[in-house]
Amino acid sequence: MAETTQLELVTPARVMVQKAAEMVVAPGVEGLFGVLPRHAPLLADLARGIIEVHENGKIVNRYMIDGGLADVTPEAVTILAERAEDLDAADAGELNTRADAASEAEADFLRAVAAAL
């Protein structure tokens, strides 16, 4: 079994993801960066973008975030984001419907998620 790092994706409303991953790729404000097991400690600002979870050399999950903060340790990566959506379970029509009823910032994010599908 390959080594893994523990991913935790947290929004103000809930803990969205808690799972082991071989690699996590995150959208840092200075560009994408990957987190592997035994990564050096790091605290990074995140931009709006897609978090990719890799297993067996393939992307198995994708989550879009609206910026945030990543706390990386040798054992885990914790991502704190104001908003996040699971791209693998998202529906563009439902996102656009939610955007119509949302605040301006939330609507902008939801439309960006729908466009990423």
Supply the pLDDT for residue 64: 96
Q: 8 phi and psi, to 5 degrees?
A: -135, 120
Residue 90, H or E segment: none
Task: Write the CATH number for 34.
Answer: 2.60.15.10
Supply the pLDDT for residue 95: 87
Mean of per-residue pLDDT scores for the chain: 94
- The parent domain of residue 72 ranges over 5-86
**Residue 63 within any structural domain of the chain:** yes
pTM for this prediction:
0.89
- DSSP-derived letter for residue 117 is -
Count of domains in the chain? 1
**Residue 60 within any structural domain of the chain:** yes
Each residue of 22-78: pLDDT tens digit? 999 999 999 999 999 999 999 999 999 999 999 999 999 999 999 999 999 999 999
